[in-house]
């Protein structure tokens, strides 16, 4: 089962990726993880990626695609994987299709957890994080019992980028960059959109149902 998981900032993509990894026993692979592994292993592509990152420049597509190829060829991906953060463009999607073809794989499903912008902004603005243990709360949807962390009693704070203006910018960039990708995968016939406004457990159940029907 070869999956691509998509979703705007704050949609709960990370939470669902963990749950799908546990359910289907396949690795979650993010662009960051791939870069770090390639750099750690000292591969030629890893060295090129490190040079770009050290210089503060974008890693070129050919290097990124090469690192993706190396990672998906590893043994732990033979039973499937969940891609997170790649591809980001139609050009990268076409490159991924070529990689999978070379590895005798095909993309099973593209799962997009969709949440309207106004809901995502409300989620971000109300988010509070424990300075001590990192536990996350929300002033409306998941408030702490007191004005402190329920788990450790630590002080709660609001991240500097959890504000309406910043979120609007992030969502605008996301929409602009991913819309062509969504259209691409709709044409390919593997795109599925999940309503991310539901409770976490319901989103998980819907994702699992979609994938279980593929397996059966």
What 3-state class would DSSP assign to 191?
strand
* Catalytic residue selected from 23, 159, 169, 179: 159
197 is annotated as an active-site residue = no
Where helices occur in the chain by DSSP H, the ranges are: 13-24, 31-41, 44-55, 61-72, 90-102, 117-125, 164-188, 200-215
* Given 13, 19, 48, 128, the catalytic residue: 13
- Catalytic-labelled residue, pool 48, 123, 127, 128: 127
- The residue from 36, 50, 69, 88 that is catalytic is 88
Return the number of other C-beta atoms located less than 10 Å from residue 121's C-beta: 20
CB 97 within 8 A of CB 65: no
Tell me if residue 109 is catalytic.
Answer: no
Of the residues 19, 109, 128, 170, which is catalytic?
170
Asked if 36 is an active-site residue, the reply is: no
How many angstroms separate the CA atoms of 69 and 92, rounded? 12
DSSP-derived 3-state class of residue 70: helix
Active site residues: 13, 88, 127, 159, 170
């Amino acid at each position: 089962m070869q999956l691509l998981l998509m979703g705007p900032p704050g949609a709960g993509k990370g939470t669902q990726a963990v749950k799908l990894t546990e359910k289907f026993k396949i690795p979650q692979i993010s662009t960051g993880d791939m870069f770090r592994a390639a750099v750690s292993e000292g591969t030629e592509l890893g060295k090129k990626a490190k040079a770009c990152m050290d210089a503060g420049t974008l890693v070129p597509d050919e290097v990124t695609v090469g690192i993706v190829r190396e990672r998906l060829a590893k043994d732990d991906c033979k039973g499937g994987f969940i891609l997170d953060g790649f591809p980001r463009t139609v050009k990268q999607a076409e490159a991924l299709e070529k990689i999978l073809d070379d590895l005798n794989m095909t993309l099973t499903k593209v799962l997009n957890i969709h949440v309207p912008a106004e809901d995502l902004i409300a989620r971000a603005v109300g988010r509070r994080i424990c300075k001590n243990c990192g536990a996350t709360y929300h002033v409306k949807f998941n408030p702490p019992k007191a004005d402190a962390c329920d788990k450790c009693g630590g002080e709660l704070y609001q991240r500097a980028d959890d504000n309406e203006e910043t979120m609007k910018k992030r969502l605008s960039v996301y929409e602009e960059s991913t819309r062509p990708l969504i259209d691409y995968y709709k044409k390919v016939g593997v795109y599925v959109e999940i309503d991310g406004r539901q409770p976490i457990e319901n989103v998980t159940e819907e994702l699992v149902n979609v994938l279980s029907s593929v397996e059966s």
